[in-house]
Amino acid sequence: MAVLDEGFAALEFDALRSAALERAGELGCRHADLRVEKIRTQSVTLRDARLEGAVDDLSIGMGVRVVRAGAMGFAGTVATDVDAAGQLVAAAVDAAAVAARAGGEAVELADEPEHGVVEWAASYRIDPTEVPLADKVARLGAWSAGLLRARGVEHVTASLLCVAEDKYFANLAGTIARQQRVRLQPSLEALAAAEDSSTFETMRTCAPPVGRGYEYLDGEGWDFTAELAELPELLAEKLRAPSVEPGAYDLVIDPTNLWLTIHESVGHATELDRALGYEAAYAGTSFATPDKLGELRYGSELMNVTGDRTTQYGLATVGFDDEGVEAQRFGLVSDGVLVGYQLDRRIAAAAGLGRSNGCAFADSPLSIPLQRMANVSLRPAAGRGPTTAELIGGIDRGIYVVGDKSWSIDMQRYNFQFTGQRFFLIERGRLAGQLRDVAYQATTTEFWGALAAVGGESTYLLGGAFNCGKGQPGQVAPVSHGAPSALFRGIRVLNTRAESGR
């Protein structure tokens, strides 16, 4: 357990809480909450082992949300003094009054018990934002130089994104929560060109972003040494590989690729605000509407998907969400049937679904909390379960898909296509070299209905992203998605080069 940040702890939280919440009570607010946050974000980028850019950003401030006379109001400021806290409440009440005049249904929040005074910190040892820039540049530079020494590698781009997030939350119900978490995202991409310069290929590392400390780069959770050692030969093979013949293939999809398909086709589709139509302008609504709850055949009986804000090292893992709801694990798809949604307190109340399952998040103290994604994950097979090699061994003609790249999905989270970093032809249960220009295409229910086997725990991995977008004004949220290797039968494969007219 990490020690909560001492500098952040020095703020006068008791005085800020009193100034904000007592004033909210005086102004007749049925609900009020205060968030004080400090977010440190660092990014480092190297091009061919030379520093290209570095950013070290620190943001701190307060946000107050109120519910008064059936309307919600929010206000935020970069100030952290007692006078500003009282003024924020007045501004939030004024915003609620404007919202009330605009009409619409009255705002209700689902009940949540008081949790008292609680502290939570993510599992990590080394805060990545405290590691000196010189050390980060040296590590990325050494990794880049190693790749550049390999025959055929012409350029290497390396980057590292680190975030440390400290948060204080208090509400009128009596919950007071202090939390701290960190996350980091390393990435290296190599480029190689054909000898006649007629074409080129790139290949990126598959190491996922994680809610871990800097020890991740030392090999705790991922073997960077092994991946970087094999990447040049994999890239050279990809450059020589034949272009895929389009058609129907059995696919074994590695979790380094499948996480993104889960994110787009299940994660966003089971956000209840999206399914109800509250969220429509940013990436659309969802085909998985509430009238289908308990009835929609989302996929085969092997498909079991959970939402979880308690997953160790998950990017969306917290102790409490930004409405004071305790982190939980909950079902979304069970035995292939839609059984649940991701909820915040307002959407849970509006849909009559009882308690929120803790999916509210704001990306800064100046942003209002939105219903955001939990760590949405496909469960592995019970017991030992098959290995990736065993899944491949059961295929006569197919493709093994590794690593994420581009994606496309419609405004209902239904029609999609995905590409990847590495594609291997499978012939009679064996890998038979790489392919190029591969994309797989399906509808959500067609794809998950074709799920024929899921790997065991040994194949399970948390993937994810720092930058899931939603809302207007737009907000970004970090989220992880766990998955085992999985086998899908008869999936449509496109040749991207032919589709583009090249």
Query: Residue 501's pLDDT is what?
Result: 76
What H or E segment, with its residue span, contains residue 26?
A: helix 13-26
Query: Residue 194's pLDDT is what?
Result: 87
In this predicted structure, the answer to whether residue 7 has a pLDDT above a threshold of 90 is: no
Query: Residue 281's pLDDT is what?
Result: 81
Q: What is the pLDDT of residues 270-289, one digit of tens each?
A: 999 999 998 888 889 999 99
Phi, psi of 278, rounded to the nearest 5 degrees: -65, -35
More confident residue, 453 or 3: 453
* Rounded distance between C-alpha atoms, residue 446 and residue 362, angstroms: 34
Q: Are 259 and 482 in contact (CB under 8 A)?
A: yes
pLDDT confidence tier of residue 5, bands split at 50, 70 and 90: confident
Give the residue extent of every domain in the chain.
Answer: 6-240, 247-499
In this predicted structure, the answer to whether residue 456 has a pLDDT above a threshold of 50 is: yes
Q: What is the pLDDT of residues 38-90, one digit of tens each?
A: 999 999 999 999 999 999 999 999 999 999 999 999 999 999 999 999 999 99
Strand ranges in 261-396 using DSSP code E only, listed in sequence order: 305-308, 329-334, 337-338, 360-361, 370-371, 375-378
Q: What is the pLDDT of residues 368-391, one digit of tens each?
A: 999 999 999 999 999 889 999 999
Q: What percent of the chain has pLDDT over 70?
A: 99
In this predicted structure, the answer to whether residue 502 has a pLDDT above a threshold of 50 is: yes
* Rounded distance between C-alpha atoms, residue 154 and residue 135, angstroms: 25
Q: Are 32 and 85 in contact (CB under 8 A)?
A: no
What six digits make up the tokens of 146?
């190693």
Q: What is the pLDDT of residues 317-366, one digit of tens each?
A: 999 999 999 999 999 999 999 999 999 999 999 999 999 999 999 999 99
* Residues pairing with 170 in the sheet: 34, 176
Query: What does 196-244 look like in DSSP terms, one character per residue?
Result: TSS-EEEEE--PPPBS--GGGGGTSSS-HHHHHHHHHHHHHHHHHPPBP
- Give me the chain's average pLDDT, please: 96
pTM, to two decimals: 0.96
* Rounded distance between C-alpha atoms, residue 303 and residue 290, angstroms: 19
Nearest residue to 346 via CA among 278, 245, 258: 278
Query: What does 421-468 look like in DSSP terms, one character per residue?
Result: EEEEEEETTEEEEEEBSEEEEEEHHHHHHTEEEE--GGG-EEEEEEEE
pLDDT, mean of residues 392-397: 97
How many residues are there in the chain? 502
Query: Residue 43's pLDDT is what?
Result: 98
User: How far does CA 195 lie from the centroid of its chain?
Assistant: 39
In this predicted structure, the answer to whether residue 2 has a pLDDT above a threshold of 70 is: no
Query: Residue 1's pLDDT is what?
Result: 47
**Which CATH fold topology does 6-240 show?**
PmbA/TldD fold (3.30.2290)
Task: Kindly tell me the sign of the dihedral angle through the C-alpha atoms of 75, 77, 80, 85.
Answer: negative
pLDDT confidence tier of residue 476, bands split at 50, 70 and 90: very high
What six digits make up the tokens of 380?
């592995």
CA distances from 365 to 126, 142, 169, 171 (A): 25, 37, 11, 15
- DSSP-based three-state secondary structure for 16: helix
